[in-house]
Each structure stands twice: as C-alpha cells, then as structure tokens.
Amino acid sequence: MKVIDRFEIPWYQYLNEEGKLADEIPPLAEDTDSLLELYRLMTLARTMDTKAIALQRTGKLGTYPSTRGQEAVFVGVGNAMEKSDIFVPYYRDMATLIQRGAKLSQILQYWGGDERGNDYSNDDFPYSVPIASQTLHAAGAAYAIKYHREKRAVVSLIGDGATSEGDFYEAMNVAGIWKLPVVFVVCNNQWAISVSREVQTACHTIAQKAIAAGFQGEQIDGNDIIAVQHRTVEALKSAREKGEPRLLEMVCYRQHDHTTADDASRYEPKSMRETEWKKEPVARLRRYLEQKGKWSDTQEETLQQECAREVDEAVQEYLAITPQAPESMFDYLYAQLPDIYLPQRDLLKEVEIAAHG
C-alpha cells in the first residue's frame, strides 16, 4: 500500500472562555479601538435579537430566527469584508447585514412579511430562506467576478444543516474546479432545526468537506470574535488575490429555538445550553477588555442604554411603515407574473377591497 495524499484540518482560537489570549495572536487582538467596535456591534445585535423575539410574541413580527449566542460569527464575518465584496446571506445574518448597509428597521420589515425590507442599495444578495440554495448563487457571482477580472470576493453564509444539501456540494465543486473567489462560511450552531450535528454527518469536522472539492477548509472557534474576524480576513485575501475558495467552519451554539415557531426543549439536552453559555462570545470579549483596563461597568451601562435606544428607534420606524396590500405577495415571485396566477391576485385584491371598503 502507498499513501498518495494526506490532509489536515487546522483549528483556530485566539481568545478562550476566560478571556485569555493564546501565545500567537493576530494584530486585531491588540487593536483596542477595533475590539470595542466589535463589542458594540455584538451588544447591539443581541439587543435587537431580544426585541425582535418580543415583537414576534406580541404579534408585531412574523416568524423570526434568533442569533443569540452566535453574534461573533455574524459580526466578525461582516467586519472582515470589504465594501466591494458581495455578501450572499441565509436568514440568520442580521449582524452582518447591518454592517453592509441594511437598516435595523429593514430587517424588522422583512421579518414582518414585507419584501421591501430585502431591498439593499449594494450588490449584496437578499435573504435566502431555502436551505443552501444561496451557495450556488454565490458561486455564480464569484464566477462573474473572475470573468470580469475584478479584485473582490464573495461570502456565502449557511448553517450546519445546509452542508447536508446537494446544493452545498455542487457549489463547492464548481468553486474548486474553476478556482472561484468565494468563501463559504458555515455557522455550525450544532442544530439543523431539531437534527443534531452528529446525526447530520459522519465527518469529524464540517471543514473537511472542502477537501473533496479541492480546496482548504478550517475550523474556527465561533465564540472567539478575534479568530472569526482574522481568519475571514485571511480567507478573503486569498480569494481576492489568488482566486482561492475556502470553507470556514465556525463552531458555536444556538442559544435559542431554531425560530420563534420552534420549541428546542423537545429535543435539546437539558443541560447543554447552560454548559455552552459559558463559552458565549459577548461576555468573553468583555472579560478580555476588562482585563486590559479598557472596559468598566459604567461603560457597559451606557452602551446598553445606547443600544436599547437605537433598537427602539428602529422599531418605531418599522411600525410606522405603511403595509403593502396583500396581493403584493404575487409581485415578488416573477419579473412578469404568469397568467395562471392573475385570477388569484385579482381575487385577493377584491377580498381586500371588500374587507376595508
């Protein structure tokens, strides 16, 4: 027997649960101003998340997917991107989108059932609720970038459940064959709705799935904002400059139900959430900043008040938006609505007129 190849999957963590740094650290770890901004964004995202859940519970928002406990992934990825890059999200990317120009009120608008909340003023793609389909869109966008010889990259974010879909493998396959400037980021929060990560795949890591596609995969502590941001920066640099795709597996934990329509207590181990909460990213970065003498209880109180005020203003802006007519749901399906759907649209319009005069 002869071994013709060997593979390794690196794992990155720079800031551990106690807020202590590793021996070798990236420049970001000593950049206090940048870390304070990352901390502010994570705090804002958690404040927004709590408010969105409350709005859903009171009937002012539709089904909503929480990001609690996963803030470092979405903040870190968004912070690592350049404005010229293209972002192809799934549905849990709120903290990334607000760094890409989306307003908090727009995010509420979308989850309130209004597609106008999906209309951003850049090249980023809209929310994708179908699982893993956006990875193919990302590969297509990356191919266009390569074709036009542009120095930018594409980021596609998915959950661990999406790595069980055929779309994911197809997108990685063409990315590897064509050497596309795309970074696939997996927010491995351990649950694809009620299906655990262990049940989804026999692979030791999700990152190693990149090997079959012919490019690098790595695993990152998704609760470590420094590791998330730095490794995404490095992956994007390779994508832009060398046309090298990469798969980044961000390991974290979903500290809420899959969505507000779910009840995770039916399948989640009783002690697991409490155990994983000790690793959560916001408190971890705060401990580090406190140890460096860069954060205090007074600053924390001020930040909480500022985030609450910003979110409340977004809520008021969202609630003040004039709703679209119900028949508008047909207007986002096709560039030109097929004739077969026209009677349904007309009927819904007639019902709305009859109900409201």
- pLDDT, tens digit, 9 for 90 and up, residues 71-116: 999 999 999 999 999 999 999 999 999 999 999 999 999 999 998 9
Distance CA 232, CA 2 (A): 36
Is 267 among the catalytic positions? yes
Q: Give the C-alpha separation, 241 to 252, whole Å.
A: 29
**What does the alpha-carbon distance between residue 114 and residue 356 come to, in Å, rounded to a whole number?**
20
Residue 356 appears among annotated catalytic residues: no
Enumerate residues 6+ apart whose C-beta is below 8 A from 202: none
Q: Is 309 a catalytic residue?
A: no
Report whether pLDDT(202) > 90: yes
Task: Say what the pLDDT of residue 269 is.
Answer: 92
Residue indicated by tokens 């908090």 = 104
Give residue 212's pLDDT band: very low, low, confident or very high (50, 70, 90): very high
Query: Does the pLDDT at position 355 exceed 90?
Result: no
- Report DSSP state, residue 195: E
Say which of 68, 240, 246, 254 is annotated catalytic: 254
Which residue among 197, 230, 258, 284 is the active-site one? 258
d(C-alpha 37, C-alpha 77), whole Å: 14
Catalytic residue among 116, 267, 332, 341: 267
